[in-house]
Amino acid sequence: MPEYCFIQGCPNHYRGKKTLGATTNVTDPTKSRLFRVPKDDILKKIWSEKIPRTVITRESLMETESMTRALIPEDVTSRQVVSPQNLGFVAGVILRERLFDDAGHGLLMTLFALWMVVKEKPLAAKKIQSEIWVICFAGRYIMLLMGLFSIYAGFIYNDVFSKGVNIFGSAYKVNLTDHELQHHHSGMLVPNEANNHYRQTPYPFGVDPIWMLAENKIPYLNAYKMKISIIFGVVHMGFGVILGIWNHRGSYPWMCTFDSHHLYWHGTVQVRDDTVALDGCENYMYPGQETLQKVMIITAVLVVPILLFGKPILFKMEMNKAKNHAVNYFLSDYLDVFSKLPIFIQTLHNHNGTAEGEDVEVAGVPQTENHEGGDEPHEFSDVMIHQAIHTIEYVLGSVSHTASYLRLWALSLAHSQLSEVLWLMVLRKGLMFQDWYGGVILYFIFAAWAALTVSILVLMEGLSAFLHTLRLHW
């Protein structure tokens, strides 16, 4: 594989000067453009066995390098692989908005990021050295996208500063009589045609606002967010396995490994579904679901040996094939060398005065004394050990990583509960005063509520959501 090595021929006493004398135009192979170098310098093409890296160009949206540097180290990607830059950037934004799902808080972040984007050049010219400001300004584009996606997620969960918004009108109808309300502490709305509590058409977008007033609000939202987090986790990890298959599509051992990854991973997903079903669930979503789950469980168990021994066996077969090919080539092309070997050694001894007992290396005949045992067992053992470690990590990680996506549900619940606590314990107190001085007190209470909202729910929770998003990518 060719590599380009730039050999500088400039003398030491010329270094640091602006003019280096005569120059020539040289083509940069990595960027396909011309640049000028002194004639004494050489751009030499050398041969190397190293696989060249893939050049990842940063678009204008990615020029801040905030998310890109965190997700994609520049010295990791190999040649001709799918660039994880754009995929990781968008996936990070989507996963993060599931953790930061308040439309009001997302609006505050969007306005701040939009101000930095609009005033980008004047703010960059000021060259503010504050560390916090440098971090925020470097991530202005990703903050803008995160804010917009948080607004979207907030409307999905119908959560705006911990309050629900009734835009389209609730799909439930409260038609309880006064007698029922007087004799019962609470009422229940049953969504069936007999009770006429439901209009039989769902709320057009997001969660119905009547759930914000229900006593079972938290259990309902918990189940809703938990299912969404698992769906996002399954899609995210499955897409990653598909990208791994695509990146190694030209390597048969790796294709075998990643196909086993895909089968095992889907099988473990069905294992978790079947575990829930064994607890007493009999209402399946489609006919034959139980049979399909059992087949996937058996498939997941059977592909573990393939995942463990598939790549080492194929690697061993390729090594034996290459070894046999080399032996046949050696015997056919160098048979005459062995037949004339004594005459050739005697000729070298007579003309060059070779001392008795000194080793003589014949051109084309490799010495084998330094290769006792060969590299084959060592290389095969390395592959086997590496594959065993990889199999253990993947088998255990396929379960633990899916559980890691439950943080999308847990942090979302914590964020909404903390926002509701701030509303009930701070801002609501200021709204309870009836006299004229209530407006004055509300002014200071609102300032305290706004300060706590920005500092805790927007800054601290926003940073926490970003860090958890990075964890899900790693």
Phi, psi of 365 (to 5 degrees): -115, 105
Q: Please state, rounded to an integer, the average pLDDT across all residues of the chain.
A: 71
- How many Cβ atoms sit within 10 Å of the Cβ of residue 315? 18
- Taking residues 457-472, report their average pLDDT: 84
What pLDDT is recorded for position 332?
58
CA distance 470 to 474: 6
- 8 Å CB contact between 385 and 416: no
What pLDDT is recorded for position 109?
92
- Taking residues 274-291, report their average pLDDT: 62
The distance of Cα 390 from the centroid of its chain, to the nearest Å, equals 18
Task: Give 17's pLDDT tier (boundaries 50, 70, 90).
Answer: very low
Is 463 part of a structural domain of the chain? no
- Domain hosting residue 7, numbered range: 1-50
Q: Is the pTM of this model over 0.75?
A: no
CA distance 80 to 243: 12
CA distance 313 to 384: 9
Task: Give 2's pLDDT tier (boundaries 50, 70, 90).
Answer: very low
Higher pLDDT among residues 460 and 50, named by residue: 460
Higher pLDDT among residues 464 and 320, named by residue: 464
CA distance 66 to 140: 9
Structure tokens at 245: 């298959």
Instruction: Give helix 407-422 / helix 84-99 axis angle, nearest 10°.
Output: 40
One-letter identity of residue 78: S
User: What secondary structure does DSSP assign to 168-200, as a single string?
Assistant: S--SB-----HHHHHH-S------STTTT-B-S
Residue whose entry in the numeric block shows the structure tokens 């971090």: 135
The least confident of 108-112, 193-197, 219-223, 235-239 is 193-197
What pLDDT is recorded for position 467?
82
Q: How wide is the angle at C-alpha 447 spanned by C-alphas 442 and 452, nearest 5°?
A: 125
Is 191 part of a structural domain of the chain? no
- 8 Å CB contact between 149 and 93: yes
- 8 Å CB contact between 9 and 24: no
**Widest distance between CA atoms in the chain:** 125
Residue 412 scores a pLDDT above 50: yes
Task: Give 376's pLDDT tier (boundaries 50, 70, 90).
Answer: very low
One-letter identity of residue 469: T
How many domains is the chain partitioned into structurally? 1
Residue 13 scores a pLDDT above 90: no
Q: How wide is the angle at C-alpha 384 spanned by C-alphas 403 and 257, nearest 5°?
A: 50
pLDDT (tens digit, 9 = 90+) per residue, 96-111? Answer: 778 888 899 999 999 9
What pLDDT is recorded for position 8?
42
One-letter identity of residue 445: I
What pLDDT is recorded for position 118?
92
One-letter identity of residue 414: A
Task: Give 216's pLDDT tier (boundaries 50, 70, 90).
Answer: confident
Is 46 part of a structural domain of the chain? yes
Residues with Cβ < 8 Å from 469, sequence gap 6 or more?
92, 95, 96, 99
Higher pLDDT among residues 391 and 344, named by residue: 391
pLDDT (tens digit, 9 = 90+) per residue, 47-73? Answer: 555 555 555 555 545 444 555 555 555
Is 4 part of a structural domain of the chain? yes
CA distance 427 to 445: 6
Residues with Cβ < 8 Å from 78, sequence gap 6 or more?
51, 53, 54, 247
Pick from 224, 200, 193: nearest CA to 211: 224
What pLDDT is recorded for position 360?
39
What pLDDT is recorded for position 302?
81
What pLDDT is recorded for position 10?
45
Residue 323 scores a pLDDT above 60: yes
Structure tokens at 154: 């907030």
Is 284 part of a structural domain of the chain? no
Residues with Cβ < 8 Å from 334, sequence gap 6 or more?
364, 365
CA dihedral of residues 298, 301, 302, 306 (deg, nearest 10): 150
Is 241 part of a structural domain of the chain? no
CA distance 112 to 151: 14
Residues with Cβ < 8 Å from 233, sequence gap 6 or more?
401, 402, 404, 405, 406, 408, 472
- What is the H or E stretch that residue 45 is in? strand 42-47
Is 12 part of a structural domain of the chain? yes
- Taking residues 280-308, report their average pLDDT: 75
